[in-house]
Chains A and B, each alone.
Chain A
Amino acid sequence: MSKSFPSGTVALRDASFHVAKGEFVFLTGHSGAGKSTVLRLIYAEHLPTKGRVHVSGFSTDKLKRREISRLRRRLGIVFQDFRLLEDRSAEKNVAFALEVTGAKRSVIVPKVMRVLAQVGLTAKARNFPSELSGGELQRVAIARALVNDPFVLLADEPTGNLDERASRGVFRLIRDINANGTAVVMATHNLDLVREGGYRTIELEQGAIVFDSAVDEQVAS
């Protein structure tokens, strides 16, 4: 897939890769290398100008506008800046992702409690974003991403705004999520986490894939 913008900027050029069910993939590279663009193409924020993206039965070349919401309900998305609603408590932020699917209240409440427990925030369920630390905010965002039982978690620099300790906590949580069967595609600058994780790593440079550890391993074997 390739992605260029009307201004002429080429964000991604002929990048091609496949993520298997339950796999953990790091996207690395400098700022502007195209990591976020890859994620945006996966959750159909942008459509590729060349090529296509296949995600769980959805293909961007046939994707209709109304299908985008259905695709996103199958994904969990986490950002560096959390993107929480400031005027709602942690539990309401998480519940929000279920409300948009039209879920019943009787389903929403236990599910929200379950994911908040999973991210270790049961005690802060009623707290508002302004009352939470960076690490806690990211946990709320992860809980929101998890509440719809996604088959893949897309994380765009999830530790970018966190200190060392909070980063490790969030990363541990994401690893646990992956261990439970959810695929993870995580864009990061943090090479320590990449080294520590030991997962497949795709490196981007100026919009092109310059390294894919999976391919490297295949060649080696």
Chain B
Amino acid sequence: MIQPLTNRWQAENRMNHAIREALLVFRRWPALSVLSVTTIAFALFVASLYSLVVINLHRTLQSIEERVEIVVYLLRGTPVEVATVAVREIEAFPEVASALYVTAAEALRRAQAELVEFQGIFSEFETNPLPASLEVRLRPGFRGSDAVRTVAERLRAYNFAEDVQYGGEWVAKLDRLRNIGGIVGLLIGGAFAMASIIIIGTTIRMAVMQRAPEIAIMRLVGATDGFIRRPFLVEGCIKGALGGAAALGLCYAAFAAINAFLFQAQFFTTAQSALLVGVGTALGLLASATSVRKHLHRV
């Protein structure tokens, strides 16, 4: 039993030493540490601000998509029972989120409420000129032009359908916008992510290089590569996490300013905020691991 206990103690001791040494770096080189964290923070800030823009654009696009609707105008005289059965059938389509039967009277009431300026004209009608309709909303993922067209064709097949409208042109435009947005977002996002990785990597590398004499002395007195590497990894994690947290703070400040002076935007969710700090931590760790490994292979 002594051996495992000794091993555990040694592992704990090594980890404690790594954490202690990593924290000491902030006291020994405060200026360099603050510079590293600030650089990481700004690199992540630029990338995360871009993510925030993308997230808000995505949400806006989603809210526009939610308006994608197919309207089936019914032939005059279509019995309510037939329309009600059709509603149930249509709701069973896998693409359909909801189907609503709008009577001719309801259509007129809506028109009167929405088109106040034509109030006089509406009152002159002796009979209701508006047809009854079925308003069909689609599930997310089925709001692209192809899916909308397919459902519209199936609806057109009902013998009571006088006309089917779904704004084919603007759905196609929305499709194009979504595709272009996706590609451009990916390219710019990739470029921002790459720039952040390079900046964070270089920052951590500079911190490692600055401590090259210390590493050389560590090796001379018999430190193993693992012993040398561990404090740097912990330090990279701490700097990355602090940089991520600072980037989150900067993003929040930018978001608050936009909300106050420009338009209502949405901030990251808690999970997305945690992800940003996590990404910072992971990048710090990765940059440290790469820099120290390269350095150790040279000395």
Residues of A participating in the B interface, judged by any CB pair closer than 8 Å: 43, 65-66, 68-73, 77, 83-85, 87, 96-97, 99-102, 104, 144, 148
Contact = CB atoms under 8 A, between A and B. Distances in A.
A85 B217 contact: yes
Contacts of A68: 219
A72 B224 CA distance: 10
A123 B13 CA distance: 29
Interface of B: 10, 13-14, 17, 28, 213-214, 216-225, 227
Contact of B222 (A83, A84, A87, A148): A148
A102 B214 contact: no
Nearest to B299: A45
B222 A85 contact: no
Given A77-B220, A97-B221, A148-B221, 11 more contacts: A65-B225, A69-B225, A72-B222, A73-B221, A87-B28, A96-B217, A96-B218, A97-B222, A100-B222, A101-B222, A102-B227
Contacts of B14: 102
B241 to A, nearest CB: 24
A184 to B, nearest CB: 17
B141 to A, nearest CB: 54
A84 B223 CA distance: 15
B216 A83 contact: yes
Query: Which 7 residue pairs spanning A and B have beta carbons closest together?
Result: A73-B222, A100-B223, A72-B222, A97-B221, A69-B224, A69-B222, A87-B28
B223 A85 contact: no
A203 B168 CA distance: 94
A66 B225 contact: yes
Contacts of A148: 221-222
Nearest to A86: B213
Q: Which of A77, A85, A101, A102 has the most CB of B within 10 A?
A: A102
A65 B223 CA distance: 12
Q: Which of A84, A87, A100, A144 has the most CB of B within 10 A?
A: A100
B145 to A, nearest CB: 61
Contacts of A96: 217-218, 221
27 contacts: A65-B225, A66-B224, A66-B225, A69-B219, A69-B222, A69-B225, A70-B222, A71-B222, A72-B222, A83-B216, A83-B217, A83-B220, A84-B217, A85-B213, A85-B214, A96-B218, A96-B221, A97-B221, A97-B222, A100-B218, A100-B222, A100-B223, A100-B224, A102-B10, A102-B14, A144-B221, A148-B221
A70 B224 CA distance: 8
Contacts of A65: 225
Contacts of B28: 87
B216 A100 contact: no
B227 A100 contact: yes
Contacts of A72: 219-222
Contacts of B222: 69-73, 97, 100-101, 148
A96 B213 CA distance: 14
Nearest to A77: B220
A102 B216 CA distance: 18
B13 A69 contact: no
B101 to A, nearest CB: 77
Nearest to A87: B28
Contacts of B13: 102, 104
A65 B14 CA distance: 20
A83 B220 CA distance: 10
Nearest to A145: B221
Contacts of A69: 219, 222-225, 227
Contacts of B214: 85
A36 to B, nearest CB: 13
A220 to B, nearest CB: 38
Contacts of A99: 17
Contacts of B227: 69, 100, 102
